[in-house]
């Protein structure tokens, strides 16, 4: 990606929200992550069939195991194998993988996809010497070699040099003597690796799973970063299209910068090198805001739900530049950046909040980060979701006390509270929604007989849905002030919708009510129509006519918020049953209850109610009490169901802006099923 801001891409015409800005762009180089080499196609990144296809032609054998043919790549079809095998073999990619397997100390830095992509790039380019730019792309060579991570670059370049030497001379040059390779020997490999580290993007499938990396040409890499971008991008991970297939979308942006003259959208100094046919994961850039003719097109290189300091740190660490976009330059901080980093402190001896207390905010933030990261790691790495949920809800509900952080004087023991919209709170909601979903699924799988275990599973599913809804509502609140968060908010509304519908359709409800949500009848013509919004009508019209209209975007969004606010008011107390933190959250959609104060009113409420004396019981399995069971009735169930449908529809509507209609129509059958089910209940 472009970092020194010497080059930029500008719109050649006016572009509306939700329009493709580029055709599918093919990469200059790409590589799967090591862990996916045996499960995904090395050419198009699709899942492999049960019997994948190996590389064609000659595959090298190595002296340490001469009878073993080293197979480092697999393909989903003969076409992919035929197309990629020559580059795979001639780039020295199998030689590198063998070297790293036989001598792990050669490159003790983990995944080798950066190295393999750099090898492929070197082989595709004509012989050249290192420079500030290769094929028009910034290498950032000298800056990165003065970075803390320079050992990784040196080691990687030496490993690449040895792999190419093995390819050119003989396999038996492989030995654990990479230290004998001087920096001057591997200077070209260093430059190529720096180019990849600077310009590569992580390729993700539709589920958000990262598959590998890819480097694209200037038409993509010259698009600069902004923390308030007007565009996003998506990947096409599928077998390559037929060579004769014509792209419908022209390139609607053109370069602007030092030494570049624009002539009919083409760079006159020929730095736009030819991109490599139709292979590899393709990328499409799409507008998420209206863009005027001549306006710079920007995307984000980082997570926009991080506060300013974290974004700046990450951008400097990876790309060696300081962002000066409108969001980062705002003084005072934008509302979104204020709440994403907002914490407060309380001294229980005085019950006063941070407006009356001076404390080291950076130190407190780091302690909270360490605690929450460790709690999330209980789930992701250790595999203990119950411990993770207990610890996360502890810090959300009771804060983090100084006595947990080496404070010796009792009179100065502070407790730090996270704002409900703090980026760590959002991370906690994400994890808790997943944790409770996993725990509910595990319980349901273990027990088939209707008993207390399945009732607990329904309880856990209810809490998962509550955290999903809170996450979507909190992010939407921020989205109203920073529209570039549309990608995140679309995904969160989709997740909330699916979680709420899973809860509403659970068969365990039959313990409380006699009405089951029926499976849809394909011949049924009845459809649910919300009397207060046109979201269902818009979904049907836009989906089946192949075009989503976004001229009335604000109107649709306002209608949606009005509807889900009404639904949520009827079910939120029920969804938050038994969870101290969720009960303190007055409304997960409308955050006006936070007031206009800068510090967390949630912390103040808990302090005043002495909530710190009571541990949250959400983490423990428990039977639903009689009073709670009263909430499991037909009216609540139908309301949750309708709320879920609205969340799913609106999430799909936003996703269609970011990703196109293909992302929306993939759920047509499921959503129509939901609509018919609601019709039969109404």
User: What is the residue-wise DSSP string for 465-483?
Assistant: HHHHHHHHHHHHHHHTT-G
What letter would DSSP give residue 232?
E
Strand-pair category, 262-263 with 137-138: unpaired
Rounded Cα–Cα distance for residues 565 and 591 (Å): 11
Residue 497 tokens read as 């919708």
Asked whether 26 and 282 are in contact (CB, 8 A), the reply is yes
Length of the chain: 682
d(CA 223, CA 137): 11
Structure confidence at residue 2 (pLDDT): 57
Q: Rounded distance, CA 514 to CA 615, Å?
A: 35
Q: Give pLDDT, residue 240.
A: 65
Among residues 127, 126, 188, 134, which one has the least CA distance to residue 157? Answer: 188
At 511 the pLDDT is 67
Q: Count Cβ atoms below 10 Å from residue 605 Cβ, excluding itself.
A: 15
Task: Say what the pLDDT of residue 672 is.
Answer: 52
What is the 8-class DSSP label of residue 25? B
Rounded to an integer, what is the distance from CA 595 to the centroid of its chain? Answer: 30
Looking at residue 412, its pLDDT comes to 59
Query: Beta-carbon neighbour count of residue 662 at 10 Å?
Result: 12
Q: Which residue has the tokens 């023991």?
A: 413
Decide: 29 and 124 in contact? Cβ < 8 Å: yes
Around 216, how many Cα atoms within 13 Å sit in the side-chain half-sphere? 25
For residues 420 and 429, what is the distance between their CA atoms, to the nearest angstrom? 10
User: Residue 347: its pLDDT value, please?
Assistant: 74
Long-range contacts of 475-480 (CB under 8 A, 24+ apart): 475/305, 475/426, 476/561, 476/589, 477/421, 477/589, 477/591, 478/305, 478/336, 478/339, 478/340, 478/421
Contact between 471 and 496 under an 8 Å Cβ cutoff? The reply is: yes
> Which run of H or E residues covers position 30?
strand 29-32
Cβ neighbour number for residue 210 with a 10 Å cutoff:
11
Q: Give the integer Cα–Cα distance in Å for 537 and 550.
A: 14
Q: Which pLDDT value is given to residue 207?
A: 81
DSSP 8-class letter at 505: T
Check residue 31 and give its pLDDT. 96
Which residue in this structure is represented by tokens 């500030």?
A: 132
Number of CB atoms found within 10 A of residue 96's CB: 26
> What confidence score (pLDDT) does residue 68 get?
43
Which residue, 181, 153, 213, is CA-closest to 28?
213
Strand partners, 65: 62
Which pLDDT score, from 0 to 100, does residue 113 have?
A: 96
Which residues 6+ apart lie within 8 Å of 84 measured at CB? Answer: 42, 43, 55, 73, 75, 279
How much is the pLDDT for 436? 95
CA 267 to chain centre: 33
Instruction: Please tell me the predicted confidence (pLDDT) of residue 199.
Output: 93
Q: Which residue has the tokens 């079910």?
A: 571
For 419-434, write each residue's pLDDT tens digit. Answer: 999 999 999 999 999 9
Residue 68 in tokens: 């073993």
The pLDDT assigned to 490 comes to 95
| Token pair 């180089």 in the structure block, residue | 29
Q: φ and ψ at 288, to 5 degrees?
A: -120, 0
158: tokens are 């030496």
Task: Report the percent of the chain where pLDDT is more than 70.
Answer: 72
Where does residue 445 rank: exposed (0-12), middle (13-18), buried (19+ CB within 10 A)? Answer: exposed
What does the pLDDT read at residue 635? 85
Positions of the chain with pLDDT under 50: 4-5, 65-70, 246, 259, 261-277, 351-355, 404-411, 515-526, 544-546, 596-601, 606-623, 627, 668, 678-679, 681-682
Q: How far apart are CA 491 and CA 650, in angstroms?
A: 10
């Amino acid at each position: 990606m472009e970092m020194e801001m010497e080059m930029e891409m500008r719109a050649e015409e006016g572009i509306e929200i939700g329009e493709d800005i580029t055709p599918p762009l093919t990469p200059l180089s790409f590589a799967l992550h090591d862990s996916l080499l045996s499960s995904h196609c090395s050419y198009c990144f699709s899942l492999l069939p049960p019997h994948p296809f190996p590389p064609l032609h000659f595959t090298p054998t190595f002296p340490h195991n001469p009878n073993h043919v080293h197979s480092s790549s697999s393909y989903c079809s003969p076409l992919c194998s035929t197309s990629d095998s020559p580059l795979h073999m001639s780039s020295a990619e199998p030689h590198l993988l063998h070297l790293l397997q036989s001598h792990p100390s050669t490159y003790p830095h983990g995944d080798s996809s950066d190295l393999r992509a750099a090898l492929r790039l070197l082989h595709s380019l004509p012989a050249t010497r290192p420079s500030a730019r290769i094929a028009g792309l910034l290498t950032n060579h000298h800056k990165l070699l003065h970075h803390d991570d320079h050992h990784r670059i040196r080691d990687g370049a030496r490993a690449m040099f040895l792999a190419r030497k093995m390819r050119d001379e003989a396999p038996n040059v492989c030995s654990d003597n990479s230290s004998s390779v001087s920096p001057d020997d591997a200077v070209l490999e260093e430059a190529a690796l720096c180019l990849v580290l600077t310009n590569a993007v992580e390729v993700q499938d539709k589920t958000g799973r990262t598959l590998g990396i890819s480097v694209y040409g200037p038409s993509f890499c010259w698009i600069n970063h902004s923390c308030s971008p007007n565009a996003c991008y998506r990947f096409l991970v599928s077998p390559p299209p037929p060579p004769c297939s014509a792209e419908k979308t022209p390139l609607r942006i053109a370069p602007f910068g030092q030494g570049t003259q624009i002539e009919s959208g083409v760079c006159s100094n020929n730095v736009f090198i030819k991109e490599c046919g139709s292979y590899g994961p393709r990328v499409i850039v799409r507008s998420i805001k209206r863009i005027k003719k001549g306006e710079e097109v920007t995307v984000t290189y980082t997570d926009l739900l991080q506060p300013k300091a974290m974004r700046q740190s990450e951008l400097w660490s990876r790309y060696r530049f300081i962002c000066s976009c409108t969001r980062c330059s705002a003084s005072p901080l934008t509302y979104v950046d204020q709440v994403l980093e907002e914490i407060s402190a309380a001294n229980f001896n005085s019950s006063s909040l941070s407006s009356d207390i001076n404390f080291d905010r950076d130190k407190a933030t780091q302690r909270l980060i360490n605690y929450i990261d460790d709690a999330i790691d209980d789930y992701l790495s250790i595999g203990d979701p119950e411990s993770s949920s207990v610890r996360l809800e502890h810090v959300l509900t009771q804060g983090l006390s100084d006595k947990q952080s080496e404070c010796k004087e009792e009179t100065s023991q502070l407790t730090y509270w996270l704002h409900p919209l703090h980026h760590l709170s959002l991370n906690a909601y994400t994890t808790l929604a997943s944790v409770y979903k996993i725990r509910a699924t595990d319980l349901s799988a273990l027990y088939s007989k209707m008993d207390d275990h399945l009732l607990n599973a329904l309880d856990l599913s209810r809490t998962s849905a509550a955290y999903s809804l809170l996450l979507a509502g909190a992010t939407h609140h921020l989205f109203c002030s920073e529209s570039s968060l549309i990608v995140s908010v679309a995904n969160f509304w989709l997740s909330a919708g699916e979680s709420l519908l899973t809860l509403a359709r659970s068969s365990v409800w039959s313990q409380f009510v006699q009405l089951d949500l029926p499976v849809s009848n394909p011949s049924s013509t009845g459809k649910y129509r919300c009397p207060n919004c046109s979201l269902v009508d818009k979904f049907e019209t836009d989906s089946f006519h192949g075009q989503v209209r976004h001229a009335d975007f604000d109107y649709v969004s306002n209608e949606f918020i009005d509807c889900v606010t009404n639904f949520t008011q009827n079910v939120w107390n029920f969804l938050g049953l038994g969870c101290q933190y969720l009960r303190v959250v007055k409304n997960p959609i409308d955050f006006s209850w936070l007031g206009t104060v800068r510090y967390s009113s949630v912390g103040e409420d808990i302090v005043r109610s002495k909530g710190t004396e009571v541990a949250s019981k959400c983490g423990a399995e428990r039977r639903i009490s009689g009073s709670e069971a009263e909430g499991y009735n037909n009216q609540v169930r139908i309301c949750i169901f309708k709320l879920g449908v609205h969340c799913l529809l609106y999430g799909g509507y936003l996703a269609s802006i970011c990703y196109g209609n293909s992302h929306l129509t993939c759920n047509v059958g499921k959503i129509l099923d939901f609509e018919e089910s609601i019709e039969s209940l109404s």
